[in-house]
Copies of this chain bind each other. A is one copy, B any other.
Amino acid sequence: MHTPSDDADRQRDAGSVPSPAVRHVSLNLNVRGMGPSATLAVKALCRARVDRGERVFDFGLGQSPFPVPAPVVEALRLAAKEKDYLPVEGLPLLREAVAAFHRREDGMEARPDGVLVGPGSKELMFLLQIAYYGEIILRSPCWVSYLPQAQIVGRRNTLIPTQFDAGWKITPALLEETLTAANDHGRPRLLILNYPANPTGHTYTAEDLQGLAEVARKFELILLSDEIYAQTHFTDEHVSIARYYPERTIVSSGLSKWCGAGGWRLGTFCFPPELDWLRAAMAAVASETYTSVCAPIQYAAVQAFRGGAEIEHYLSRTRRILASLSAQCVDRIRAGGIRVHPSTGAFYLFPDFTPLAPRLAARGIHDSTTLCQRLLEATGVAILPGAAFGRPAEELTARLSYVDFDGAAAIEASARPEADIDAVVQRHCHRVLEGVDRLTDWASADRA
């Protein structure tokens, strides 16, 4: 969840995937041949450009551009000597802080005993798929590691395709239709929701969530609500579905996105009492695999989840920067004749180049993968094809991550009381805006 799998793909060395020519290769068929993905192909092209000394506008990476807040870094320094194995479910102080965080931020009835701490919520998601026996229901477009995880574990999955016109949202009607179509009311199923969303940047309203909760209750779904981007909601109005479907919703969070600490690898799941059996089974698997999360990081995370004035100030500045930058990108993209929904959180846009399809087709571009490769070659702008997020190959969508700027400098500039946030963004995020202009100029051009 947290680490968009493009990040993972960027890191994966699966280019060296086992060749059939190698002797003595005995691999799990669920793993054999994994990758290289479209995102890796883009990465390779990026590297080649950099090696040639050419510019790259890196809108592929799903990493926060901001530094870890100073009090959290200081807490890590103070905890550097902590060396003991911690309890598999997490440091008790941290479990308390995470529960308090969800009570404070989301109005949930969160309990310390319901919290499970893992080395990234992506790993927790994997444990969930190992422990839980049931079908996985996902939205398309979806974050790119959900599907490979289901493949590794061998779990059945169903994608619910959403549309531009519906703002890429799963509607209650669409959900009900999908669940009913299987004609198997009692099937154990896990629905994963993610909002503010990767890769679309949209979120759900309270009304949307109430409707989805009703359907979930009717089908007794287990719901994994991936809210890792909650604190990036531009107007700080994130609402959790746990309010409306508390009895079977697991809420996921972590340090990777709102706290700028993707590389620290700490994610959290918060379970209701009704799902303690699932938490216990995941903890049993965790005890035989990663054992516990890095101790110094857990002590530092206590500081992050407790929050406080300095962290609030940090968050409010990061939100203003992202909101302004996102809006400026949207204006420019639309001016280029590409359709796109404004985002309400996270740091993604999911432009749809369909209005330009005839022009693109004239240049031999008929699918999102070719679109992204040609864009990169021509302009140095790297975005990820919709196909990498479960969309049909021929749909001309892509994810644009507007994080290629110096977050520390932008935060500092935005802190001045007289700061005009749009001007700050134009000065400090000019690289992003320039990349978006290159993209639109190239896409809307009449010739190749």
Tell whether A60 is near chain B: CB-to-CB under 8 Å. Answer: no
Q: Are B152 and A288 in contact (CB under 8 A)?
A: yes
Q: Are A263 and B76 in contact (CB under 8 A)?
A: no
Partner-contacting stretch, out of A130-138, A169-177, A411-419:
A130-138
How many copies of this chain are found per oligomer? 2
Residues of B within 8 A of A188 (CB): 24, 26
Residues of B within 8 A of A122 (CB): 288-291
> A80 contacts which of B77, B84, B289, B295 (Cβ < 8 Å)?
B77
Q: Which residue of B lies closest to A263 (CB)?
A: B295
Q: How many residues of A contact B (CB 8 A)?
A: 83
Tell whether A181 is near chain B: CB-to-CB under 8 Å. Answer: no
| Most chain B beta-carbon neighbours within 10 Å: one of A28, A85, A130, A261 | A85
> A83 contacts which of B17, B89, B120, B264 (Cβ < 8 Å)?
B264
A14 to B29, CA, bound (A): 31
Tell me whether A145 and B85 are in contact in the complex, defined as CB-CB below 8 angstroms, given that A80-B77, A265-B293 are known contacts.
no
Docked complex: A1-20 residues within 8 A CB-CB of B: 3, 5, 7-9, 11-14, 16-19
Q: Are B28 and A132 in contact (CB under 8 A)?
A: yes
Q: Are B288 and A130 in contact (CB under 8 A)?
A: no
Residues of B within 8 A of A16 (CB): 276-277, 280
Tell whether A287 is near chain B: CB-to-CB under 8 Å. Answer: yes
Residues of B within 8 A of A26 (CB): 132-134, 188
Q: Are A85 and B152 in contact (CB under 8 A)?
A: no
Tell whether A97 is near chain B: CB-to-CB under 8 Å. Answer: no
Tell whether A27 is near chain B: CB-to-CB under 8 Å. Answer: yes
A290 to B2, CA, bound (A): 11
Docked complex: A240-293 residues within 8 A CB-CB of B: 260-265, 276-278, 280-281, 283-293
Q: Are A152 and B31 in contact (CB under 8 A)?
A: no
Tell whether A447 is near chain B: CB-to-CB under 8 Å. Answer: no
Tell me whether A5 and B288 are in contact in the complex, defined as CB-CB below 8 angstroms, given that A83-B262, A89-B13, A283-B14 are known contacts.
yes
Q: Are A292 and B265 in contact (CB under 8 A)?
A: yes
Q: Are A280 and B17 in contact (CB under 8 A)?
A: yes
Tell whether A294 is near chain B: CB-to-CB under 8 Å. Answer: yes
Q: Which residue of B lies closest to A72 (CB)?
A: B80
Q: Are A3 and B291 in contact (CB under 8 A)?
A: yes
Q: Are B119 and A265 in contact (CB under 8 A)?
A: yes
Tell whether A34 is near chain B: CB-to-CB under 8 Å. Answer: yes
Chain B proximity of A81: nearest CB distance (Å):
5
Tell whether A107 is near chain B: CB-to-CB under 8 Å. Answer: no
Residues of B within 8 A of A81 (CB): 67-68, 73
A286 to B145, CA, bound (A): 11
Tell whether A166 is near chain B: CB-to-CB under 8 Å. Answer: no
Residues of B within 8 A of A133 (CB): 26-29
Tell whether A123 is near chain B: CB-to-CB under 8 Å. Answer: yes
> A17 contacts which of B3, B9, B67, B284 (Cβ < 8 Å)?
B284
Tell whether A220 is near chain B: CB-to-CB under 8 Å. Answer: yes
Chain B proximity of A259: nearest CB distance (Å):
9
A residues within 8 Å of B by Cβ?
A: 3, 5, 7-9, 11-14, 16-19, 22, 24-29, 31-32, 34-35, 63, 67-68, 73-74, 76-77, 80-89, 119-120, 122-123, 126, 130-134, 145, 148-149, 152, 188, 220, 260-265, 276-278, 280-281, 283-297
A31-B281, A35-B284, A123-B289 given; 4 more Cβ-contact pairs under 8 Å = A7-B291, A11-B88, A11-B292, A152-B288
6 CB-based A-B contacts, threshold 8 Å: A11-B89, A12-B284, A27-B281, A31-B131, A63-B85, A83-B261
